[in-house]
Amino acid sequence: MSFSAKRVLLSSRAPRCWWWRQEPSCAAAGPAWSSLGGSRPRPILDMSYSRHFLDFQGSSIPSSMKKLVVTKLSQNFREAVTLRQDSPVPLPGDGDLLVRNRFVGINASDINYSAGRYDTSVKPPFDIGFEGVGDVVALGLSASADCTVGQAVAYVKAGSFAEYTVVPAKQAVPLPSVKPEFLTLMVSGTTAYISLKELGELSEGKKVLVTAAAGGTGQFAVQLAKKAKCHVIGTCSSDEKGGFLKSIGCDHTINHKTENVESVLRRDYPEGVDVVYESVGGKMFDLAVNSLATKGCLILIGFITGYQNPTGLQPIKAELLPGKLLKKSASIRGFFLNHYFSEYKMALKHLLKMYERGELVCEVDLGDMSPEGKFTGLESVFRAVDYMYMGKNIGKIVVELPHSVNSKL
Ligand SMILES: NC(=O)c1ccc[n+]([C@@H]2O[C@H](COP(=O)([O-])OP(=O)(O)OC[C@H]3O[C@@H](n4cnc5c(N)ncnc54)[C@H](OP(=O)(O)O)[C@@H]3O)[C@@H](O)[C@H]2O)c1
């Protein structure tokens, strides 16, 4: 497969969503119910009085839909999640949009979510899927002040693995069109942008190691570090991924399946690396710590090698850490997007601008090269999660949800 050929450019009782609370964008940002002091205003399109109603172009919005629901807590996605065929299409409230999802993003943490690791107090059944891109097909009265039916939007909110999702207008980002590339920026892009900006202290000539560099978030860490004029080293598991990394500017790629990453780093960077964007964990984490330069910093983004374990963890040589860090005045800093809401809007704006100007590759993997082909429909979310955990993806894994038959959108 040639990645350049496939590149496009280049509520139910869901647990609280953890990585978004943004200022209004598509939003009406109207007063909350309680502050109106009265009864609930009636949404513009009130689905409650009718089994079916028409959207703005006459396409029918059904009363029921397919969605994925976590029915059992497990890090095994297939065991945890059930495809429900006949869930009611949710009603948008006064400040809400009803979004018909067209593309939904797969994240490594979907299995942490299905295992209940985000909010241990919530019990199944609950909705799953962190992010989506789609069209607004209905909306509440307050939401209509700034948003219209037919608007393309992206959002980060739990419950995107569904044909329709209710999204508070405040959390929706208006888009020029419905494209999967926009989805790559919502979680993966902003994670790289904010963490490197806030914690990376990048400057010209610094050596930056990115692990899982060809993946959803890794691809952005590579490109953003290059934009800061750093020397970028990326790990990956195939020559094809290495080729992709070269194409986005990565200076040095290391195939962790065929090369000893630590030896290569010791040989080629005897002084060590200044910054590590680390999302793999286990042995990769240990060798990355060993490879830090004096005053180097490892940004801890994740530890995917542990997520499939019952504990969610992967052993590391923790007892050696204090000595290793002290000897080099080095540091490890954790980063969790959820804690950086205040930076989110600015980061997304910058990334969208870079993409519009053609300065950023937003690689999407729609599964065309996966054994059973393109990820189409909610049924294929299971395959898409497997594909990620086989380490096969190049760029962000995205599942396309086909249009409903009657849609004229
Ligand atoms: N802290 C935050 O706020 C935040 C936000 C988003 C994502 N993340 C983290 O970033 C990491 C990447 O997430 P993503 O959604 O963007 O996934 P991704 O990078 O698109 O896909 C995962 C990649 O990890 C690599 N990998 C290494 N060991 C693996 C293993 N044992 N099983 C499966 N894959 C393995 C594979 O690439 P190669 O083996 O080819 O390198 C695979 O393609 C995860 O640790 C995730 O938790 C953190």
Question: Whose C-alpha lies nearest to ligand 1, atom 35?
Answer: 391
Give the per-residue pLDDT at 41: 53
Whose structure tokens read 């739990």?
Answer: 158
Question: Whose C-alpha lies nearest to ligand 1, atom 9?
Answer: 302
Q: Which band of pLDDT confidence, cut at 50, 70 and 90, is reported for residue 4?
A: very low
Give the mean model confidence (pLDDT) for residues 95-109.
98
Query: Average pLDDT of the chain?
Result: 88
Q: Which band of pLDDT confidence, cut at 50, 70 and 90, is reported for residue 403?
A: confident
Give the per-residue pLDDT at 302: 98
pTM: 0.89
Ligand 1 atom nearest to 390, measured from its CA: 33
Give the per-residue pLDDT at 82: 98
409 has a pLDDT exceeding 90: no
Give the per-residue pLDDT at 146: 85
d(CA 68, CA 66): 7
345 has a pLDDT exceeding 80: yes
What are the tens digits of pLDDT across the range 363-387? 999 999 999 999 999 999 999 999 9
Joined together, the tokens standing for residue 30 give 């109207």
What are the tens digits of pLDDT across the range 286-341? 999 999 999 999 999 999 999 999 999 999 999 999 999 999 999 999 999 999 99
406 has a pLDDT exceeding 80: no
The residue whose CB lies within 8 Å of the most ligand 1 atoms, and thus the one to mutate among 76, 198, 279, is 279
Task: For residue 26, report the distance from its CA to the centre of ligand 1, in Å.
Answer: 30
404 has a pLDDT exceeding 60: no
Ligand 1 atom nearest to 392, measured from its CA: 43
What are the tens digits of pLDDT across the range 201-227? 999 999 999 999 999 999 999 999 999
Give the per-residue pLDDT at 384: 98
Give the per-residue pLDDT at 181: 98
Question: Whose C-alpha lies nearest to ligand 1, atom 33?
Answer: 389
Ligand 1 atom nearest to 304, measured from its CA: 45
Give the mean model confidence (pLDDT) for residues 173-178.
97
Give the mean model confidence (pLDDT) for residues 168-193.
97
The residue whose CB lies within 8 Å of the most ligand 1 atoms, and thus the one to mutate among 114, 183, 217, is 217
The residue whose CB lies within 8 Å of the most ligand 1 atoms, and thus the one to mutate among 304, 351, 362, is 304
Give the per-residue pLDDT at 305: 98
Task: For residue 146, report the distance from its CA to the centre of ligand 1, in Å.
Answer: 36
Give the mean model confidence (pLDDT) for residues 47-57.
42
Ligand 1 atom nearest to 334, measured from its CA: 1
7 has a pLDDT exceeding 70: no
Lining ligand 1 with CB less than 6 A are 107-109, 187-188, 191, 212, 214-218, 235-237, 241, 279-280, 301-302, 304-305, 335-337, 388-389, 391, 393
